Structure 1
Amino acid sequence: MKKFLLGIGVLTLIATGFSTMDTYRRVVNNSFGPGEHIEYRVHYGFLNAAEAIVDVSPTLYKVNERPCYRVNVDGRTVGAFALVTKVRDTWRSYIDTNAILPQKFYTSLRENNYRKEENITFNHLNNTVRAEERTERDVFHVPDNVHDVVSSYYFVRTIDFSKLNVGQVVEVPAFYDDTIYNMKVKYRGKDVIKTKFGRINVLKLTPIMPPNSFFKGDDAIKIWVSDDANKIPLKVEVELAIGSLDMDIRHHAGLKHPLRFF
């Protein structure tokens, strides 16, 4: 009888364990991995305005008992722009390797005299987000499979766009700055662009922006990503209310698949 009860107990633990594991989705990721490094240059007209570096750590981290990629995004103004507007921003996301969901998100913003530093912890089992070291409301209820601003981009990279129709919109729930919103990206078809490394086949994407006075229209941001398994952004154009910004890739290393230029 004791052996029978012990057996039932073991089976219950196993069943419970698998039930807990199954609460996480599983996303097939053939697009990125540890050690990916990409650098971008941002232009305002003919002037170099800023640079951005996107790094996936070569080491995996364990956060909330889950293996995670650590992704750093660093942006800063350069040259004459840094004299007028000094920006030193860092976003860091710990992205679950199996679910491609954030487990932790760190923000450090230094923009002229403005300062903000914050750590956000995601609990996908009970659909909450907790902002650490906050004196105000610090726990938020969020929808299933919610993202931060960095992990949402990496999740979009795992999407098979060959199965989408031109004009189709992908929606990803996201949490940023105490706000829950649906990030919407429209697939605009295929194209070929010229880069410093040569010409390359790309997919055209347009994030759908809510009405505002900062961007020029709801399709003010256009992104061209490599039409391959990597799906990394190669070029970005942003139409502002005053002028426009262009971002181009200037260096890449550690990609999961070689880029095919011609």
Structure 2
Amino acid sequence: MKRIFYFSLIFFVLFSGLNSNLAAQHIVDDIPFKEGENLKYIMSYGWIDGGEASLGIEKVQFEGKQVYHVKSVGKTIGIAHSIYHVKDIYESWFDINTGLPYKSLMDLTEGKYKNYNVVYYNQANKTVLSKKSGEKTLKNNVFDIVAAFYHLRGSFNNLKLGQMVTIHTYFHDKPWDLIVRYKGNETIKTDFGKINCMKFTPVVEKGTFKDEEALDIWISNDKNRVPIRVKMKLFVGSFKTDLVEHTGLLYPLNFVK
């Protein structure tokens, strides 16, 4: 359960939008979110709900400047919680104009396993300072996974069918380059109605899934660019994560009649 839940939460947080030019220094003017947006997801295996994740954004003061602060919480629920307790918290403080992070926090509880760390980002010097491992030099414009979620939502344009995209992040105290493929558009049924979505497939490690492209992500193909669904094909079966609640969206979700 731990690895299944782990992958579900990470991919939902991260793959909210993609751009072939990730070196851009500024978010587009028409950003697809605002302070007060809250998203909630439920992960299920068949008819059994096993986990939930939430994301909320606010504006706060950080070292004398106004920034966005996002808190993401993922946890097991129901039967899954009684079998294996998971509560993972990720937080990010990032620049309102560039989307680049100043600070990220990770607080994980997965059974008896616990992992806590705080990372500070110096984008000008291309370094990060981890409380666990010290200072490291990284590439230009490195995002934590939460800051990547919001920055990339505003960077959707000109993707071609089959295009491969690499995203540079710093995650679990090390650089992590993800490769994602754009698979085109699909209309999917949800509890809210039918929604036209952009479909993406991350290339994942062998041994966890049935193949390297056994995980699909659907992002609303509208001005919100909200992650709507994730499906994972594992050796033990298929898992699905769906958006179940949303408040404070900048635009109404665009439903297909």
TM over 0.5: yes
Q: Distance in 1 between matches of 2:96 and 2:165?
A: 21
Deviation at 1:64, TM superposition (A): 4.9
Aligned AA (2:223):
A
Partner of 1:77: 76
Identity %: 31
Partner of 2:41: 40
Q: Distance in 1 between matches of 2:175 and 2:79?
A: 36
SS at match of 1:196: coil
Q: Distance in 1 between matches of 2:63 and 2:223?
A: 29
The residue correspondences of 1:26-105 to structure 2 (distance < 5 A) are 26-28=26-28, 29-57=30-58, 60-105=59-104
Partner of 1:165: 160
Partner of 1:117: 116
Deviation at 1:66, TM superposition (A): 4.4
Whether 2:216 is the aligned partner of 1:250: answer no
Which stretches in structure 2 are left out of the alignment for 5+ residues? Answer: 1-23
Among 198, 205, 208, which residue is 2:200 paired with?
205
Stretch moving more, 62-71 or 200-209: 62-71
Aligned AA (1:254):
G
The residue correspondences of 1:127-138 to structure 2 (distance < 5 A) are 127-132=126-131, 134=132, 137-138=133-134
Partner of 1:235: 229
Q: Distance in 2 between matches of 1:46 and 1:143?
A: 43
1:63-96 Cα distance to aligned partner (Å, 9 max, x none): 3554321111111111110111100111011121
Q: 1:65 to 1:208 in 2, by over 3 A?
A: farther
SS at match of 1:160: coil
SS at match of 2:152: helix
Q: Distance in 2 between matches of 1:119 and 1:191?
A: 38
**How much is the aligned-residue C-alpha RMSD, in angstroms?**
1.7
SS at match of 1:122: strand
SS at match of 1:150: helix
Q: 1:186 to 1:64 in 2, by over 3 A?
A: farther
TM-score normalised per structure 2: 0.86
Decide which structure has the larger Cα Rg and report it.
1
Aligned AA (1:155):
H
Deviation at 1:156, TM superposition (A): 2.4
Q: Distance in 1 between matches of 2:188 and 2:246?
A: 17
Aligned AA (1:52):
A
Specify which structure has the bigger relative contact order, considering alpha-carbon pairs within 8 angstroms and separated by 6 or more residues: 2
Stretch moving more, 227-236 or 174-183: 174-183
Q: Distance in 1 between matches of 2:55 and 2:220?
A: 16
Q: Distance in 2 between matches of 1:68 and 1:221?
A: 33
Q: Distance in 2 between matches of 1:65 and 1:140?
A: 25
Deviation at 1:216, TM superposition (A): 2.1
Partner of 1:175: 170
Q: 1:235 to 1:259 in 2, by over 3 A?
A: same
1:181-220 Cα distance to aligned partner (Å, 9 max, x none): 21222111111001101111111111221x3311221112
Q: Distance in 1 between matches of 2:96 and 2:214?
A: 32
User: Does structure 1 conserve the Cα–Cα contact (< 8 Å) formed by 2:27 and 2:155?
Assistant: no
Q: Distance in 1 between matches of 2:239 and 2:147?
A: 23
Instruction: Count how many residue pairs are aligned between Structure 1 and Structure 2.
Output: 233
Partner of 1:10: none
Q: Distance in 2 between matches of 1:44 and 1:36?
A: 27
Aligned AA (2:89):
T
Deviation at 1:223, TM superposition (A): 0.6
Deviation at 1:178, TM superposition (A): 2.4
Q: Distance in 1 between matches of 2:26 and 2:47?
A: 44
Partner of 1:156: 152
